[in-house]
Chains A and B, each alone.
Chain A
Amino acid sequence: MLKLFQDTGRRAFLFADRLANAIFGSKWNPLYHLGTMAFFFFYIVLASGIYIYIFYDTSVVDAYTSVEYMTHEQWYLAGIMRSLHRYASDAMVATMVLHLLRGFFFDRYRGARWFSWTTGIPMLVMVFAIGITGYWLVWDLLGQFVAVRTSEWIDWLPIIAEPTARNFLTNTSVTDLFFRLLVVIHVGLPLMLLGLMLLHVTRLNDAKINPPAGLAIGATVALVVLSLVKPAVSHEAADLSTLPTQLNLDWFYLFIYPLMDRWSMGTVWALVGGGLLLLALLPWMPPKRREPVAVVYPDDCSGCNLCIVDCPYEAIMLEARTGATSAGRYQHLPIAVVDESKCVSCGICTGSCPSSTPFRQTDEIRTGIDMPHKNIQDLHAATREALTKLTGQTKVLVYGCDHGVEMSKVMQAEVAMISLPCTGALPPSFIVYALRQGADGVFLTGCRSGDCFHRLGNDWVDQRITHHRKPYLKRSVPRERVRRYWAATSDHKQLVNEIESFCQSLRDMSPAAATAEAQDVLPGSETRE
Chain B
Amino acid sequence: MQIFQYLGQAFWYLLFIAFIGYFSTSPAYTFMEPDQSLIKLAFNHSGKLKLACREFTAEEQAAKPKHMRIKFDCPRERSPVYVIMKIDGKLIFEKTIRPSGFAKDLSSPLYERISLKTGQYHLYLGMRDHVDTEGLDYEFDGSVTLAASQILVIGFDSEYNEFTFQ
Q: Could you list which residues of chain A lie within 8 angstroms of chain B, going by C-beta atoms?
A: 20, 22-25, 30, 86-87, 90-91, 94, 145, 152, 155, 161-163, 165-166, 169-170, 218-219, 221-223, 225-226, 229-230, 232, 240-252, 257-258, 261
Bound form: Cα–Cα A162–B8 in Å: 56
Query: Which A residues are CB-close (under 8 A) to B12?
Result: 20, 23-24, 30
* Residue in B13, B44, B106, B107 whose Cβ sees the most chain A Cβ within 10 Å: B13
Please state if B29 and A162 are interface contacts (CB–CB under 8 Å).
Answer: no
Shortest CB–CB separation between residue B115 and chain A, in angstroms? 9
Q: B101 within 8 Å of A by Cβ?
A: yes
Given A161-B106, A163-B109, A166-B42, A252 contacting B23 (CB threshold 8 A): yes
Q: Which residues of A contact B100 (CB under 8 A)?
A: 161-162
Most chain B C-beta atoms within 10 Å of own C-beta, residue among A152, A169, A219, A257: A169
The reply to whether B153 and A242 contact each other, CB–CB distance below 8 Å, is: no
Interface flags, B15-32, vs A, CB<8A=1, else 0: 011011101111011111
Task: State A91–B153 Cα separation when bound (angstroms).
Answer: 39
Interface contact A169-B33, CB-CB below 8 Å: no
Q: How far is the CB of A519 from chain B (nearest CB, A)?
A: 39
Contact B151 A86 (CB under 8 A): no
Taking the nearest CB of chain A, how far is it from the CB of B85, in angstroms? 17
Nearest A residue (CB) for B13:
A222
State which of A94, A229, A232, A246 has its C-beta within 8 Å of the C-beta of B30: A246
Tally B residues with Cβ within 8 Å of A.
41
CB of B166 within 8 Å of the partner chain: yes
Check B150 against A241 for contact (C-beta < 8 Å). Answer: yes
Apart from A243-B32, A257-B29, what are 16 other A-B pairs with CB-CB below 8 Å? A22-B5, A30-B12, A87-B21, A90-B23, A91-B16, A91-B20, A162-B44, A163-B42, A169-B166, A219-B16, A241-B153, A241-B166, A242-B151, A243-B149, A248-B29, A250-B23
A246-B31 CB under 8 A given contacts A166-B42, A241-B151: yes
Instruction: For A246, list chain B residues within 8 Å (CB).
Output: 28-31
Contacts of A90 in B (CB 8 A): 20, 23-24
How far, in Å, is A99 (CB) from chain B's closest CB? 15
Kindly state whether residue B34 has any CB partner on chain A within 8 Å: yes
A249 to B34, CA, bound (A): 17
28 contacts across the A-B interface (CB closer than 8 A): A23-B8, A24-B8, A24-B12, A87-B17, A145-B31, A152-B113, A155-B111, A161-B106, A161-B109, A162-B44, A162-B100, A162-B107, A162-B109, A219-B16, A223-B17, A226-B20, A229-B17, A241-B166, A243-B36, A243-B38, A245-B31, A245-B32, A245-B36, A249-B25, A250-B23, A250-B24, A251-B24, A257-B29
Q: Is B79 an interface residue (CB 8 A)?
A: no
Rounded to whole Å, the gap between the CB of A417 and the closest CB of chain B is: 32
| Interface hub of B8, B20, B42, B100 (most chain A Cβ within 10 A) | B20
A3 to chain B, nearest CB (A): 29
**Which 9 A-B pairs give the minimum distances between C-beta atoms?**
A23-B8, A161-B100, A248-B25, A163-B111, A226-B17, A222-B13, A243-B149, A251-B23, A249-B29
Residues of the B chain whose Cβ atoms lie less than 8 Å from the Cβ of A24: 5, 8-9, 12
> Which B22-58 residues sit within 8 Å CB-CB of chain A?
23-26, 28-34, 36-38, 40, 42, 44
- B9 in contact with A240 (CB, 8 Å): no
| A24 vs B6: C-alpha distance when bound (angstroms) | 8
Name the distance in Å between B108's Cβ and chain A's nearest Cβ: 10
* In-complex Cβ contact of A166 among B23, B44, B149 (8 A): B44
**Contact for B16 among A166, A222, A250, A257, CB less than 8 A:** A222
Chain A residue numbers with a CB within 8 Å of B20 are: 87, 90-91, 94, 223, 226, 252
A243/B151 contact (C-beta < 8 A), A23-B9, A94-B19 known: yes
Shortest Cβ distance from A224 into B: residue: B17
**A163, B153: Cα distance in complex, Å:** 15
Q: Taking the nearest CB of chain B, how far is it from the CB of A240, in angstroms?
A: 7
Nearest residue, chain A, Cβ from B44: A162
State whether A22 touches B8 (Cβ < 8 A).
yes
Q: Which residues in chain B, 94-126, are within 8 Å of chain A measured between CB atoms?
A: 100-101, 106-107, 109, 111, 113
In contact, A245 and B8 (Cβ under 8 angstroms)? no
Evaluate contact between B32 and A244: CB separation under 8 angstroms. yes
- Alpha-carbon distance A521/B24, docked complex (angstroms): 61
Partner of B111, one of A20, A165, A232, A247: A165
Complex CA gap A24/B4 in Å reads 10
Residues of chain A within 8 A of B44, CB atoms compared? 162, 166
The reply to whether A222 and B17 contact each other, CB–CB distance below 8 Å, is yes
Question: Do B149 and A248 have beta carbons less than 8 Å apart?
Answer: no
Query: Shortest Cβ distance from B154 into chain A, in angstroms?
Result: 10
Question: How many Å lie between the Cα of A240 and that of B151 in the bound state?
Answer: 7
With A155-B111, A162-B44 given, is the CB distance from A226 to B21 under 8 Å? yes
List chain A residues, Cβ under 8 A from B25. 248-250
**Chain A residues with CB below 8 A from B155, complex form:** 169
